[in-house]
Chains A and B, each alone.
Chain A
Amino acid sequence: MTLQIELNGVNKFYGAFHALKDINLAIEEGTFVALVGPSGCGKSTLLRSLAGLEKISTGQMKIAGALMNDVPPRKRDVAMVFQSYALYPHMTVEENLTYSLRIRGVKKAEARKAAEEVAATTGLSHLMKRYPRELSGGQRQRVAMSRAIIRHPKAFLFDEPLSNLDAALRVHMRKEIRALHDRLKATSVYVTHDQIEAMTMADHVVVMRDGIIEQQGRPLDLYDRPANKFVAGFIGSPAMNFISATVAEDGTHIVLDFGKTQAKLALGSRLASGTSVTAGIRPEHIKVVAEGQGAFDVPVGIVESTGSATYITSATTPELTIVETGRGGARSGEIIGLAIDPAQLHLFDTATGKRIESENGRVGIEPPIHLHLAGHAS
């Protein structure tokens, strides 16, 4: 596998604003990469820099081995799908598709043939003479994709292409884009603020915040071993529960701080006593058990059911979210026990937000200590 996109120490300044901070990224040919992060994190700036629409301030940017820092967009041979699709309103679907080819001097008949081939695979054949304003959102999306595909570019750049579609269509297009990628085997960079899109579509996820890469790796690695509290909270839905905690004097327990009451959990390995840590546990990794049977008991606050899953929010501070598959029996006001698998507990340094890792990777409880937090509800 060769590297298709390479970024070395890329920085971007807008005046005094530091939009991209020392970005290093190596993308192998044929990989589907998702850039994900909250708005303003620099993911779109990074994508636009790859397209050549923004000029990077320092560092090196290579596409297919060639240095691209000062190359204008038209000579980079990348295709981009915009959030608003950016279809040319005064051109028919066919003209939109063939525009890039016609600029390159491809003959009209040849360009039309290429457009028909692409349209056949994306299901646009019957719409070739329509104007963008006569198409539905999903069809426009397809035209935007086809316009990129027709060029056989070195890389596809997607800028939140699904954010204008309704939820059902978004799920459908997600699969379609992924299937398309598998068929074309082209390198793709996909910007989204939706971590589910990133997790489900990408081979490689890059989580960004405030212009820096917080963590990158395979989707499930990010889920299983988030490098810091930000990534832990960003990846996964519903979001991970965070409880501030302190390492007890013996160095083998942590004390979870639930405001008025506290819960004590045993650690798998020793930590310096008195250290401020944040414990993180995903809602799907907490099991509801009978009162007194789990690590600690909590009063139930809100219960929401979607039919396939039940979301329980505890009446504690901070609130804990618990996801149970199926229809749990918990009711508001009840006391329930919570069982936590020690292997699923994450610990983060409160000051730096960095993940705390012990040698065997197990930081959590064993055996569970029973605690009752019922007094909290009042």
Chain B
Amino acid sequence: MSEQVRNRLMLAVALVLAAIYLFPLYWMYITALKTGSAMFATPPKFWPSEPQWSIYADVWQSRNMGRYLWNSLVIAFGAVALISVLGVGCAYVLARYRNVWVDIGLFLILMLQVLPASLMITPIFVGFSQFGLLETPRFAVILAIAAKSMPFFVVLVRATFMSVPMELEEAALVDGNSRIGAFFNIVLPLARNGILVSAILIFMQAFGEFVYSKSMIQAVELQPASVGLNSFMGPNTNEWNNIMAYATIYVTPILAAFILLQRRIVSGLTSGALK
């Protein structure tokens, strides 16, 4: 088999696999545009004959999506802000000091990453309710997400800091700066890309977070879009097109952002891995 033929075959296999993987996404987009009867037609149609574009405005109105998305944004930005402020310092220390305690710290951090949210929610819920944190449920969710995602952020940002040569900091110290000054003047600007990418990943996670929000936020007007989508789906739901339209509105901005930034995200994730 010539190399060209083999390459084409591999490409074909890759395309088929990607198509299978992305099919649910495609199905979401076209189902949203289908009419009620087209949705349940057998055999199913892979392209809507009469696309219902007005459905987005209808769903946005009827489900009060503006409020849900606003809550999602509040929670996501809150979590990112908290994690960035606390995590950057933590990652820097873990990157610059090497001893047994740092290794133990890193191990614990990675352990935390292993625990699933659905397992953690019960003790978190009990603890938070005793501290009265459930009075401010969105803040409680922000705290819980920050605790959950911090390890991921710290591990990524630590790698970024490790790729900033120690000599640059030392040069700044000899040039007359303090340790803190050198951190803000030299290290932080150079680690900026890695921190931004990590923050974006955290944002995307927090924007779609469901378990903590569902458990801790009872008041509908404070619930994020993920919980709103869940409450849309009852046991006897048949308005799949509306649900898919909701999902489309919810997920498309994140997808778009990811596609736009994917090159930087990938390079940010691997930077520091090679040096």
Interface residues of chain A, those whose CB is within 8 Å of chain B, are: 51-53, 72-74, 76, 78-80, 82-84, 86, 88-90, 99-100, 103-104, 147, 151, 157
The answer on a CB contact under 8 Å between B170 and A88 is: no
The answer on a CB contact under 8 Å between B174 and A53 is: yes
The answer on a CB contact under 8 Å between A90 and B190 is: yes
Given the complex, which residues of A lie within 8 Å of B190, measured CB to CB?
89-90
List residues 165-216 of chain B with CB under 8 A from any CB of chain A.
Answer: 165, 167-168, 170-178, 181, 185-186, 189-190
Instruction: Tell me the bound Cα distance from A76 to B185 in angstroms.
Output: 20
Q: Of A78, A83, A89, A104, which one neighbours B174 at CB under 8 angstroms?
A: A78
The answer on a CB contact under 8 Å between B173 and A88 is: no
Given the complex, which residues of B lie within 8 Å of A74, measured CB to CB?
173-178
Given the complex, which residues of A lie within 8 Å of B175, measured CB to CB?
74, 79, 99-100, 103, 147, 151
Given the complex, which residues of A lie within 8 Å of B186, measured CB to CB?
88
Chain A CB within 10 Å, residue with most, of B172, B181, B190: B172
Given the complex, which residues of B lie within 8 Å of A82, measured CB to CB?
167, 170-171
Closest B-chain residue to A144, C-beta based?
Answer: B171
15 CB < 8 A contacts A-B: A52-B173, A74-B173, A74-B174, A74-B175, A80-B174, A82-B170, A83-B167, A84-B167, A86-B167, A99-B172, A100-B176, A103-B175, A103-B176, A103-B181, A147-B175
For the complex, count residues of B whose C-beta is within 8 A of A.
17
Known contacts A84-B165, A86-B165, A90-B190; is-contact A51 B174 (Cβ 8 Å): yes
A142 CB to nearest B CB, Å: 16
A61 CB to nearest B CB, Å: 15
B168 CB to nearest A CB, Å: 5
A186 CB to nearest B CB, Å: 15
The answer on a CB contact under 8 Å between A104 and B189 is: no
Instruction: Tell me the bound Cα distance from A88 to B186 in angstroms.
Output: 7
The answer on a CB contact under 8 Å between B168 and A86 is: yes
Chain A CB within 10 Å, residue with most, of B174, B178, B190: B174
Given the complex, which residues of B lie within 8 Å of A157, measured CB to CB?
174
Known contacts A90-B190, A103-B181; is-contact A52 B174 (Cβ 8 Å): yes
Given the complex, which residues of A lie within 8 Å of B174, measured CB to CB?
51-53, 73-74, 76, 78-80, 157
Instruction: Tell me the bound Cα distance from A198 to B28 in angstroms.
Output: 73
Instruction: Tell me the bound Cα distance from A151 to B178 in angstroms.
Output: 17
